[in-house]
Homo-oligomer: A and B are copies of this chain.
Amino acid sequence: MPATESVELPDFAAGVDGLLPVIAQDHASGRVLMMAWMNPEAWGETLRTGQACYFSRSRRRLWRKGETSGHRQRVVKAQVDCDADCILLQVEQIGAACHEGYASCFFRTVNPDLSIAIEESRLVDPAEVYR
């Protein structure tokens, strides 16, 4: 039942200091790649260009994903959740999503005994990408 409405979404006023959490998921494999933040400007640029643009909380500026590494994210689909305070991007990831060189930032598993397991290898050497 395709239904279409045109409300103003997402709701940045409900965010954290005006920023909303954004989840990037590989559109083909379904793997969750990373979580970042957007302000309205980053969201607008992302929709306009079709390339993921976030807002860096530490650097306090727009962060065009891949601007240094070349590891860009082409946006295949953008979704919002029920409360319109979280964004989910289905993306085509070029290279590695993680600045540590892993395919996904979620490369560590926490076991019930609190030990940490890393079950994969880096896709790329971060020293080669960010030099």
Which A residues have a C-beta under 8 Å from some C-beta of B? 1-10, 16, 21, 23, 25, 29-32, 34-35, 47-48, 50, 77-83, 86, 88, 98-100, 102, 105-110, 112, 114-121
Contact = CB atoms under 8 A, between A and B. Distances in A.
Contacts of A100: 82
A48 B114 CA distance: 10
Contacts of A48: 112
B78 A121 contact: no
Nearest to A112: B47
Q: Which 4 A-B pairs have the closest CB atoms?
A: A30-B30, A81-B105, A79-B106, A35-B86
Contacts of A3: 117-118
A86 to B, nearest CB: 4
A118 B2 contact: yes
Contacts of A29: 30
Contacts of A81: 34-35, 98, 105-106, 108
